[in-house]
Amino acid sequence: MEAHSRWAAGLAFAVALCLTFALAAPASAQSPYLDRGNDRTLLLEVLKPSFEGDDQPDFLTTTWLLGARLGVAPQTHIVLELPWAHYEEGDFSASTIGNPYVGIEYGATGTGPFGEFGVRPPLAASEDDDVVASLSGIFSDVDRWEDFWPQMIPVTAAFNYRYEAPTGFRARGRLGGSLWIPEEGGDAEFFTLFGGWAGYESPMLRVAGGWSGRVLLTEEGVFGDQTLHHQLSAAIDIGTGRVRPGAHLRLPLNSDLTDAVNLVFGISLGVRL
C-alpha cells in the first residue's frame, strides 16, 4: 500500500485543464462506449481494478459510474455522471462519492462533429482513510481522473467527431483538455486529452476498442517527469431491447498512477429511455 500513501500526499495540489480541439470521439465525462444511437440513454458501469502483487484488495473494491445523455433540444444534450468508489481490504474499508459531472453537448448525433463543455463540483474524499477510495477510483480509468481527484474543480471541454457507416462500422476520435482549479490556492496544471475508438454495431451486438489518455503539458507538477498516461480499452454489449448488458476491459500503459494496476475489468448495463 506504499502507492496509497505516496499519492495521498500529492492529491492536495494536483490540478488540470481542459480546453482543446480535434477530430473524433466522446468527451472525457462520458464513457466512449455510451450508446449514442438513442436520444435519451443511461449507462451504469462497474469497474474492478486488478492490482500488482499477491496482496489483492477484497472483491468489493469497485468503482461505480452512472452516466446519462438526455436530449433537450435539436442537437443539444445534457450530459451527467455520478461516480462512486469503494476500497476494502481485510478489516479496512473506505467509500467516497466522486466529483459529479454536469455538462452540455451540442452537435451531430450520428456522423459529424460535436462539442462538449462541463464542470465537476469537488465532492471526492480528500481526508482521512476515505482518500484511499478516491485513489481506487483514479486507478480504475485513466480517462476519468477528474471524477475522483479531491480538492479540485475540473473544467473540461472537447471538440469531437463520430463516423457511422451503413455497414455498421463506427469510429470516434477525441482531442480535448481538462483544467482542474484548486479549491484552496495552489497552481493549475494543463492536460491535453486524446483518444480514438473503432468498432461494429448492429441491432443485436456492439463491440469496440481503442486507445486513449492524457498528456501533462505543465513543466512542473505532481507527476514530475512522467507526462504521458494512457490505456487500451475494449467493450461489448448485447441485446435487442431497451436494456443491454455488457463487459469492459482496460489495460493501463506507462503511467505512474497505474503502475500498481495490471488490468481493469468491468460490467455495464445500458438503458434506452
Statement: residue 122 has pLDDT above 70: yes
Q: Which residue type occupies 200?
A: Y
User: What is the reported pTM?
Assistant: 0.82
Domain covering 2-272 in this structure, CATH number: 2.40.160.40
pLDDT digits (tens, 9 = 90+) for 136-174: 899 899 899 999 999 989 999 999 999 999 999 999 999
Q: Which residues contact 126 (CB under 8 A, 6 or more apart)?
A: 11, 12, 134, 150, 151
User: Under a CB-based contact definition with an 8 Å cutoff, are residues 213 and 194 in contact?
Assistant: yes
Q: Hey, what's the cell of 213?
A: 489518455
pLDDT digits (tens, 9 = 90+) for 94-119: 999 999 999 999 998 789 999 999 99
Beta strands in the chain (DSSP E): 40-51, 62-73, 76-89, 92-97, 101-107, 112-119, 152-164, 169-182, 190-201, 205-216, 228-238, 243-253, 261-272
